[in-house]
Amino acid sequence: MQGNPLRAADLRVHNQNMVLSLIHAATPTGISQSEVVQKTGLKAPTIFRIFSSLEEEGLILPLDADAEEVVSRKGRRPVFYVVAKNARYTMGIEFWTAFLSLGVFNFQGQRIYSVMHPLKEGVKADEVIDFMVGEVNRVLTELSLPKERVIGIGVAAPGQVDLEQKRVRYYPRIEGMKDIALVDELESRLGLPVIIHNNCSALALSEYRHGGYEHDGSMFTFLLRTGVNGAFVDHDEIYVNSMNQTIETGHIPINSDGPRCSCGSRGCLQAYLQDLDPQSVAQRLALFEELDTSLQAGDLRAQRTIERAAGYLVIAMKIIMRLLSPKSFLFVCCCDTISDALCDHVRRLISEPDAFCGEIPQIFGTAYDPLLAQRGASDLVLQDFFR
């Protein structure tokens, strides 16, 4: 008997979050109470009560102040509601060996602040964490954002991320970034909820949702920076393995007798790509970044390098196609010149279906945009909040 009030309270919270999620998703065009009744199956008095409560809390507001006027014989015109843009905020952070970027978003998903910082060579894990804490506190003060209005912070971290344990399992390019309880550390020092995911996964989700690609609901994204990783988004969900860990595409074995990889194995996809461009890796530049000008000038050596990179990537793609059958692939590179050249070669190499692939996937390319990575991390906060 004592458990019933708790279950009833949980149900109320669930229903309110469900309604708020629908209103949030309908912004900026808005949604009416009658539409929410149809979408949720909840009774009209329940929806009215939830709308009233959300409006009293300042979380939602009518889209049109004049909307309640009687405009037809059928009665009142429906009032459309949107979330109040300054009612809540989210923060998205992405980092890797060379940079850390941070963005702040209002409740309507509009970016109100963004900054990108280079990280010093040889930076250690504890220094990155200290820097994140300092930046979050600085930005909260600068924007005069009360913590009670911040839903949470999304952290898009490099390397393999354990979502169950909320840890970065391993990222060799930052010293000490191994089995780091990043969420616990940040939450204890900032007093805010923290959501963690892999940075490629956050970027892939953002490109899937906001990139404008005709991906048919299924897109695998390769991110090429100093290393390479991949993430699969299918029907708006990021794929993770059975242990609730992000996948490590850069360490797909291409050839067991290949070059030594930073993970300790031989012949990983990442090792092959880095072996094509050791100078960029040594300088902490994105892979093939220095080939931009050469490619534009028609340099044959640069073209051959990209062609070889495409060949290695296609080997990994075919493995992924056998296992996951994505309907499209996106290559995110340092610039459009590299991504365009890479995509041209990839399309040529997979132009014919084989026995296991009856349909050739769409191939897209784009330049890396830190703002999309921030937004992906922010979206993960909202996704968790509305769950």
CA distance 103 to 223: 20
Maximum Cα–Cα distance across the chain: 79
* Three-state DSSP state, 304: helix
Question: pLDDT 10s digit of each residue in the chain, 387 long?
Answer: 454 555 777 888 899 999 999 999 999 999 999 999 999 999 999 999 999 999 999 999 998 743 333 344 455 678 999 999 999 999 999 999 999 999 999 999 999 999 999 999 999 999 999 999 999 999 999 999 999 999 999 999 999 999 999 999 989 889 999 999 999 999 999 999 999 999 999 999 999 999 999 999 999 999 999 899 999 999 999 999 999 999 999 999 999 889 999 888 999 999 999 999 998 888 888 999 999 999 999 999 999 999 999 999 999 999 999 999 999 999 999 999 999 999 999 999 998 777 777 789 999 999 999 999 999 999 999 999 998
Q: How far lies 18's CA from each of 24, 25, 195, 236, 378, in Å?
A: 10, 11, 20, 17, 19
The pTM of this model reads: 0.90
d(CA 89, CA 136) in angstroms, rounded, equals 13
| Angle value at C-alpha 148, between 146 and 149, nearest 5 degrees | 75
- Residue 201 contacts residue 156 (beta carbons within 8 Å): yes
Structure tokens belonging to residue 235: 């029907």
Q: Are 92 and 378 in contact (CB under 8 A)?
A: yes
As a whole number of angstroms, the distance between CA 282 and CA 285 comes to 8
| Whole-number pLDDT of residue 67 | 39
| 94: enclosing H helix or E strand | strand 89-95
How many Cβ atoms from other residues are within 10 Å of residue 306's Cβ? 25
pLDDT of residue 242: 93
Which pLDDT does position 356 carry in this prediction? 74
Q: Is the peptide bond before 28 cis (omega within 30 degrees of 0)?
A: yes
| Residue 68 confidence (pLDDT) | 39
Q: In this structure, what DSSP letter does residue 227 have?
A: S
